[in-house]
Amino acid sequence: MRLQLRVLIDAEEIAHRVQELGQQISADHQGQKLVVIGILKGAVVFLSDLIRHITVPLEVDFMAISSYGAATQTSGVVQLLKDLDRPIEGEHVLIVEDIIDSGLTLSYLYQLLKSRNPASLRTAVLLDKPERRQTEFTPDYVGFTIPDMFVIGYGLDYNHRHRELPYVGVLES
């Protein structure tokens, strides 16, 4: 299959919005130390850029989840592939994810981490596809709300490829 890409959100728009999110997160966590949890692999690019705009002290940890495999739609089954390296009890925690569509993965992660008794727990996503939501979950910080289309780039992949693109593109066949 030959892939066709159309730019949906360019690199400049992303950079500007990520800076705004970093400022908002910093303002909301003034006087706190933050544990920022990136969800591998898709959130790595967003997380890397975002933490450079957060001005409160922070630590970074990672979790790995699978619900897609090589498909373009979630399987609905969330599998924990890598857990945190440290406890988060009593900590102010921010989950950073690349995209929320069905909401199943982020809802699962939120409940899992909430059960570990953090002082606070918030979520930041680069992209939100509310049309696809299968849960009542709403992220605290959203970069962009997008229509129901399959997107790649800026950390998002198709079959483990195209994460390196500096923009978010729409995959068209």
Q: What positions carry a catalytic annotation?
A: 101
Task: Report in angstroms the alpha-carbon separations of 148 from 36, 73, 112, 157, 171.
Answer: 28, 11, 27, 16, 12
Helices in the chain by DSSP H: which ranges? 11-28, 44-51, 104-114
SS3 94: strand
Sign of the torsion formed by the C-alpha atoms of 160, 122, 84 and 36 = positive
How many CB atoms are closer than 10 A to CB 22?
Answer: 19
Token pair 């950079």 in the structure block, residue: 15
Tell me the residue type at 131: E
Instruction: Return the H-helix or E-strand segment holding 98.
Output: strand 92-100
